[in-house]
Amino acid sequence: MKFTLSWLKEHLETDAALSDILRALNDIGLEVEGVENPAEKLEGFRIAKVLTASPHPQADKLQVLSVDAGDGAMQVVCGAPNARAGLVGVFGMPGATVPANGMVLRVAAIRGVESNGMMCSTRELELGEDHEGIIELPADAPVGTAFADYAQLDDPVIEVSITPNRQDCMGVRGIARDLAAKGIGTLRPLDAILAMLPPVVPQGPGPDVRTDDPEGCPAFYAQAVHGVTNGASPDWLQRRLKAIGQKPISALVDITNYVMIGLGRPLHVYDMARLRGGLVARKARPGEQVLALNGKTYALTSAMTVIADEAAVHDIGGIMGGEHSGAQDKTTDVLIECAYFTPESIARTGQALGLTSDARQRFERGVDPAFLDEGLAIATRLVVALCGGTASEVTRAGSPPLETRTIAYDPALAERLGGLAIPENRQAAILERLGFTVGADWQVTVPSWRRDVHGPADIVEEVVRIEGLNEVPSVPLPRAAGVAKPTATPLQLIERRARRAAAARGLNEAINWSFISEAEAAPFGGGDWTLANPISEDLKVMRPTLLAGLLSAARRNADRGASAIRLFEIGRRYFRKADGSSDERLTLGFVLVGEKLPRSWQGGKAQPFSAFDAKAEALTLLAAAGAPVARLQMMDEAGSAYHPGQSGTLRLGPKNVLAAYGVLHPRLVRAFGLDGTVVAGELHLDAIPLPKRTGFMRPPYAPPALQAVTRDFAFLVPEALEADALVRAVRGADKAAIVDARLFDLFIGQGVPEGQKSLAVEVTLQPGDKSFTDEELKAIAERIVAAAGKQGAVLRG
């Protein structure tokens, strides 16, 4: 929301400095996003008169001017076709910066002739698009005066961020009301603003309008003005609109924008000569279309509210008018529409059409339903004052939803809920300045423009934000004596350990949206949940996997030249249960893209990541999270998203999957715009068994007193046997003595029978209170060979 300081002071009587106003805006929750004074960009530009003009001796299209900018004659080379003796324009002094291109003006020679500064066009000063010649000012313009002062451009433009619940501040008057409640001046009565406009005496019956859609358009007010003369709006109105980035179009259109931004009341003006019969607010009929003011044609549905006559649709109700019936230069008779549209209906229509506008932003939040008559009266007076004509009576079709909300309020709530003790009379004064009515028994009536206030807590918020959130004292929370007990849940501890371990292993954490596009979800089988009102088509599906977001992030990094990408994310995936309810699963996802090791004189070519790297990451992170890694089973492929034969799962039993990992399928890799081998994995953190709580004390560290013993075993096994099955069998041969077993060699070749392979396993034995004897070691070895034999393994000779 943008507005100028002078526009604000049209509604707020104040002598406060700009800095005080900005500070107050931030204090009351209207965050200032920027302040810009156009006059600052025009420093060094003065009004000047061309004394003489003669041809440039070295260039046919240039002239040598003698210019007086208040300090005597200066020589300037100029190429504008309208440059001539006697012209009064805008001169940029040496040292000034041209706003349009940032060029600093200096004394320079142009084709051998010295030039001091330049005469400027409107485009160069960012005051318009005209670049055909230099600015021409009236002959009586004061030479030597700063152009910003002459053009009344010394008017700071303030931009504030309006939260969705503050529909009342979508107009300058609402912001002025809040500042007045804060104590920054006094709100001018609306009657005083109306008094500045000439009164209008209605003549003749009002226009023919009605509403057949009380749900979408409960109220449709209109007034006609006959005999208008449309044209350019006056300078003061054009300056105000240009300052906030609005393009002046014509007096009739500019008036509607002025009322909308100043008072938060959107309007629309129709050229009555282009209408056929009366106007009606109704639901669109199947197959109807409208060519909107933005030049695009929109197909309408029966759920959308439109304004139409007997022949066609002329307006997407509350969002954008049609191009056919808008006010034109030759318009003489106009119908001014001032209607109330239901916020929910506006939101659904705008989302369905993908169409946004200033009017939609206000109607969607909810305009004041009690401001139809005043808004229409102000617009009509402005039309008559600026364009002439005779106004008709007002036609009022339907009625706006004027509910009166009264809330029983206890002033003590300000301290109990808001933490700030405010005297009762101060609270009453704040509320009354905001437009609330406070009864003697503290029955507070909510003004019609505050549809966001529904209960006592909302009133506390209003009182405390105006009094000042910075006034709320910092009070420590009560704390019981002794050592505080931990508050993190077991699952939160698992998440915390997994995050730290992933970062320690060199993975960079990514934070993605919980929503992905349908195209990103498709390679993973699509999503179970699709949003009906997404903020973007690219954020439409609740993600069924974290890999989609990670792969998109990896592509962005690869596009910027990253050669080795290691990303992880902890978040939730979303599914639908068999009964239709939602299911959220806490997951750690990771992707490894690019070079595992760069090329070097030692290793030769760069080495890519492999499925074993994904497996190592999964096992290490699961161990850090507290999963019983020694009991995990390594089972079949991880799914269609992975490369056949190059993936696996880690499970506790056949159904409890703790992780899936491997090389991603090339088709999926290409779908995300990546090249080469990409490995990834997902750890299901909420599937890890939670540890049993036996107390808050850690067990004492007790390292073994005796040194461990290692023994190597080489087995011939069927080629189809998984190494994990053999290692698990060996580890379980003697649970008291064997503390670890790991595969360290795989061999297929000479000396190994066909259809078999050789697997070598290193077994770690840990003695207890005394060292192993030879007989004990022999017995353990026999048990290991026997356990391996049950898997079809034979000790290799």
| Model pLDDT for residues 238-252, shown as the tens digit of each residue | 989 999 989 999 999
696 pLDDT above the threshold of 70: no
703 assigned to some structural domain: no
Confidence label for 604 from pLDDT (cuts 50, 70 and 90): confident
Q: What is the pLDDT of residue 694?
A: 62
**How many domains is the chain built from?**
6
Answer for the pair 722, 634: CB distance below 8 angstroms, yes or no: yes
pLDDT (0 to 100) of residue 147: 94
Q: Does 439 fall in a domain? A: yes
Is the model's pLDDT at 419 over the cut of 80? Answer: yes
Report the alpha-carbon distance of residue 330 to residue 720 in Å, rounded: 88
Q: Is 522 in the same domain as 456?
A: no
Domain finish residue from 345, 371, 398: 398
The pLDDT value given to residue 598: 86
380 plus 455 within the same structural domain? no
Task: Give the mean model confidence (pLDDT) for residues 738-746.
Answer: 93
Mean pLDDT of 401-418: 94
Residue 654 lies in a domain: yes
Report the half-sphere exposure of 692 (CA within 13 A, side-chain side).
Answer: 1
Classified as helix, coil or strand, 114 is: strand
Here the tokens at position 389 are 């004509």
3-state SS, residue 530: strand
Are 31 and 44 found together in one domain? no
Residue ending a domain, among 150, 177, 210, is: 150
Mean pLDDT of 332-358: 94
Provide the 8-state DSSP code for 732. T
Q: Are residues 515 and 370 in the same domain?
A: no
8 A C-beta contact, residue 125 and residue 1: no
Range 292-306 average pLDDT: 94
**122 contacts 89 by C-beta, under 8 angstroms:** no
79 pLDDT more than 70: yes
Q: What is the pLDDT confidence band of residue 193, given thresholds at 50, 70 and 90?
A: confident
Residue 593 has a pLDDT of 95
CATH number at residue 436: 3.30.56.10
Q: Determine the Cα–Cα distance for residues 705 and 4; give it in Å rounded to an integer.
A: 81
- Would residue 783 count as lying in a domain? yes
pLDDT at 487: 83
Tell me what the mean pLDDT of segment 407-436 comes to.
95
Q: Where are the beta strands (DSSP E) in 162-273?
A: 186-187, 209-211, 219-226, 268-271
- Give per-residue pLDDT as tens, 534-572: 888 889 999 999 999 999 999 999 999 999 999 999 999
Query: Cα torsion at 460, 465, 471, 473 (round to 10°)?
Result: 50
Kindly state whether residue 77 falls inside one of the protein's structural domains: yes
- Quick one: 376 and 424 in the same domain? no
CATH number of the structural domain spanning residue 590: 3.30.930.10
Task: Clarify whether residues 610 and 517 are in a common domain.
Answer: yes
**Residue 351 shares a structural domain with residue 216:** yes
Higher-confidence position of 198 and 708: 708
Summarised one tens digit per residue, pLDDT across range 30-57 is 999 999 998 888 999 999 999 999 999 9
**Lowest mean pLDDT across 11-25, 30-44, 599-613, 753-767:** 599-613
Q: Is residue 482 part of a domain?
A: no
Whole-number mean pLDDT of the chain? 92
3-state secondary structure 4-34: EHHHHHHHEECCCCHHHHHHHHHHCCCEEEE
63 and 211, same domain (yes or no) = no
- Residues in the annotated binding site: 452, 458, 461-462
Q: Under a CB-based contact definition with an 8 Å cutoff, are residues 187 and 66 in contact?
A: no
Report yes or no on 230 lying in a domain: yes
CATH code at position 364:
3.50.40.10
Both 594 and 647 in one domain: the answer is: yes
Q: Please, which pLDDT band fits residue 791 given cuts at 50, 70 and 90? A: very high
List Cβ neighbours of 673 (8 Å cut-off, separation of 6 or more): 555, 559
pLDDT value for 303: 94
Helix (H) or strand (E) segment spanning residue 288: none
Q: Which of 327, 293, 289, 324 is nearest to 306 (CA)?
A: 289
**What confidence score (pLDDT) does residue 384 get?**
96
- Give the whole-number percent of the chain exceeding pLDDT 90: 79
Mean pLDDT of 414-432: 95
Q: Give me the CATH number covering residue 790.
A: 3.30.70.380
pLDDT above 80: residue 642 = yes
Which range marks the domain in which residue 591 is found?
490-687
- Binding-site residue numbers for Mg(2+) are 452, 458, 461-462
Rg (CA), the chain: 38
Under 8 Å between Cβ of 381 and 374: no
Which of residues 127 and 253 earns the better pLDDT score?
253
Type of residue found at 745 = D
| Average pLDDT value for residue range 453-464 | 96
Is residue 485's pLDDT more than 80? no
Residue 693 has pLDDT above 70, yes or no: no
Mean pLDDT value of segment 291-313: 94
Residue 307 lies in a domain: yes
Average pLDDT over residues 725-751: 91
User: Are residues 355 and 221 located together in one domain of the fold?
Assistant: yes
Per DSSP, what are the bridge partners of residue 97?
104
267 in helix, strand or coil?
coil
Whether pLDDT at 420 is above 90: yes
361, 432: one domain: no
**130 and 74 share a domain?**
yes
Q: How confident is the model at residue 162 (pLDDT cuts 50, 70, 90)?
A: very high
Question: CB-based burial of residue 196 (10 Å sphere; 0-12 exposed, 13-18 middle, 19+ buried)?
Answer: exposed
